[in-house]
Each structure stands twice: as structure tokens, then as C-alpha cells.
Amino acid sequence: MVRLAHVYIGLGSNVDPEMNLPEAAVLLRKNWPDIRFSSVFRSAPQEIPDQPDFLNAVAEVQSDDSPEEIIAVLQNIEGTLGKKPPFRYGPRTLDLDLLLYEDTIRTDPTLTLPHPRMHRRRFVLMPLTELIDPDSFHPLLGQSWKELLEEVSFQPCEKDPLNL
């Protein structure tokens, strides 16, 4: 019997997000029919403030795909929805990030797991803690997700009525 990995994917958009996030959810479901989605959260852009707010969510899938295979699917979906940010951290139709692949820790030129900035972003941790046990631990940092979320509680982030 094949063991399925628990995989967490971050979704974000600030270019027509009310259209692009649901479309991304449809495409993700085609690959992983049993996918679960968190609530959607609205947050201000962090790196480049002079752009529209982002809508963000997290998805959980169970898969026997490798991390590289999952990233290929995510990049294909981003391409389908026209991801072409004009500059790093700029406005985007869709951003799909592989956040966690089980408790895998990996750093190489093509892949870093867990996602290297996720623990500093409330817009990732709030939806993630809806899907993961908040008392479980970040595989690299050894802190609980709940503790990490408390550390970024100052960052504005609120639930949005959009459902995926």
C-alpha cells in the first residue's frame, strides 16, 4: 500500500482574486479531488505596499506525488491563470507555494522545505492553522504553529467571505 504524504499549499492573489482563487481551486481539485481548503484571508501586501490587498488561503492534499511533481502541477496552474508579476513581490493573478510536504526538511537550489518565509507571515499561518493541528511543530524551528502565529499577530489579516 502506498503511503500518502500530507501536503500543504499556499494560495494567493491580488489581481482579480475573487475570480482567480476559485479558478485555481477548480484546477487544484482536478489534480487532487479530496483537497481541503481553509478560509480565505485578506491582507495588505508586505514587501511592496503600493499594490492591492491579497486574498490568501491554504490547501491540504494527500498525495503520493513527489515534491517536484507537486511543484510542476502548481507551476502549470499558475501559467494557466497567467501569472506574470511585473517585478518580484509585485501584483499577481495567482501564487501557489508548496509550504509543507510532511515533515520534510530540504534545502537545495531547486527546493526549500518547509517554505522558508511561511513562519513570518500571518496570512499563511492563519489559514494553515485551520487545517493542521496548531499544537504540532514546524519541522525545522521546533515551535508550534500556534506559537508562530502569536509571533506575527501584529500583522493585519482578516477573514474574507470568499469560499473555495
For the chain, the structural domain boundaries read 5-160
Query: pLDDT tens digit string along 17-36?
Result: 999 999 999 999 999 999 99
Given this model, what pLDDT does residue 48 score? 86
d(CA 81, CA 62): 24
Given this model, what pLDDT does residue 17 score? 97
Dihedral pair phi/psi, residue 50, rounded to 5°: -85, 65
Q: Which positions ≥6 away from 88 have C-beta within 8 Å?
A: 47
93: closest CA among 32, 29, 36, 12?
A: 12
Given this model, what pLDDT does residue 15 score? 95
Distances (CA, A) of 145 to 47, 84, 98, 132, 133: 23, 31, 17, 8, 8
Given this model, what pLDDT does residue 89 score? 77
Q: How many Å separate Cα 1 from the centre of its chain?
A: 29
Given this model, what pLDDT does residue 143 score? 97
For 100, the 3-state DSSP assignment is strand
> Which residues on neighbouring strands pair with residue 58, listed in sequence order?
10
Percent of the chain having pLDDT more than 90? 87
- pTM summary value: 0.96
d(CA 90, CA 14): 9
Q: Which three cell numbers stand for residue 115?
A: 517554505
DSSP code per residue over 107-126: EETTEEES-TTGGG-HHHHH
Given this model, what pLDDT does residue 99 score? 98
Q: Which positions ≥6 away from 108 have C-beta within 8 Å?
A: none
131: closest CA among 80, 43, 58?
A: 58
Given this model, what pLDDT does residue 46 score? 84
Dihedral over Cα of 120, 124, 126, 128: its sign: negative
Q: Domain 5-160 in CATH: superfamily?
A: 7,8-Dihydro-6-hydroxymethylpterin-pyrophosphokinase HPPK (3.30.70.560)
Which residues of the chain fall below pLDDT 50?
A: none
Given this model, what pLDDT does residue 9 score? 98
